[in-house]
Structure 1
Amino acid sequence: MAKTPELEAAYRATTYRVFLPEGVFELRVDQPSPSLAEWLAAARAPGFAVITAFNPGGRRFPDDDNLGRQSALECDLLEGNYEPYSAENRPDDAAAPVEESCFVPDITREDALALADDYEQNAILWGGVDGIPRLAWTEELE
């Protein structure tokens, strides 16, 4: 699915909850997270991405399918020598499903987008050491 104003609004109306050993960070698109910036600096991670395999192309899939896809994504990350942390995408709309995701420090934007594209995702959340999460669209790869 191509980037649309409605799709972008849905990504912006979501809290990206990240579970790190030092605590839980709640991220929103384009909103600075000083706590995340501190964590990234301490971890010497130049950046991060939040990637999910749930609901490819914005279409709802059965839980078993989503969980299997997410497990495969986590395996791909581990095989790529990344250290993914548990995360979840929590839409503001209570009727929308919560999606499991991975917080991945030390991954380039391009690698994160390529991986998201492999799992038919529209976009990822990514950022640098400043701790500001931004949207990046997989269609930018083409």
Structure 2
Amino acid sequence: MFSGSEIPCETIQAYLETEYFAFDDASTTLRVGEINPKLAALHKAHDVNCSAFITACNPFSRNCSAEFNAASQEALACELKRLGFTPIAGIGKHQSNNWPGEESYLVPGLSLEAAKALGAQYGQNAIVWSATDATPQLVLLR
């Protein structure tokens, strides 16, 4: 399914198993490949047909300092706002491995192309993107 990627298989598997939590009024848990009715309602409430779950933390899955990650997340938030989006705070967390949860954003209306570009800009291996069907999908970037 993900052949040809530079990303190690075990890392891809961890991304697939991770739960992606959105907070605030959008409080929901996204899981890759599972339809999410709350996400569908969020799309409708924001009058959009897609969304992305994206982070700027730990580029290329290298564990970085809290200070670096916080600065990267702030830069991503500023970029999203500059582009006219309203990011919703979230966190991506694998339930059984020791990798720390990564601060993230759920971004209603962020197109696949724009999400991929931002993910690449911030050195990410992958993003989670959802179309009109509100089924999160893992999109590898390298």
**TM-score w.r.t. structure 1 length?**
0.91
**Identity rate of aligned residues, in percent?**
33
Secondary structure at the aligned position of 1:65 is classed as helix
- Is 2:89 aligned against 1:95? no
Equivalent residue number for residue 126 of structure 2:
123
- 1:50 aligns to 2:53 (yes or no): yes
Q: Distance in 2 between matches of 1:56 and 1:93?
A: 21
Q: State whether structure 2 residue 82 is matched by structure 1 residue 79.
A: yes
| Aligned equivalents of 2:14, 2:42: Cα separation in 1 | 27
Number of residue pairs matched? Answer: 138
Cα RMSD of the aligned pairs, angstroms, is: 1.4
Displacement over 6 Å in runs of 4+: none
* In structure 2, distance between residues paired with 1:129 and 1:102: 18
Q: Which residue of 2 aligns with 1:105?
A: 108
Offset, 1:94: 4.7
> SS at 1:120's partner residue?
coil
Structure 2 partner of 1:12: 16
Residue 117 (structure 1) shift: 0.3
Take 2:23 and 2:50, find their aligned partners in 1: how far apart are those partners? 16
1:3 has 2:3 as partner: no
Q: Distance in 1 between matches of 2:109 and 2:130?
A: 10
Q: Deviations over 1:69-122 (max 9, x none)?
A: 110010111111111110100112252101000110111101100001000000
Question: Between Structure 1 and Structure 2, which shows a larger proportion of strand residues?
Answer: 1
Deviation at 1:34? 1.3
In structure 2, C-alpha distance between the alignment counterparts of 1:65 and 1:38, rounded to whole Å? 34
Question: What runs of 5+ residues in structure 2 fail to find an aligned partner?
Answer: none
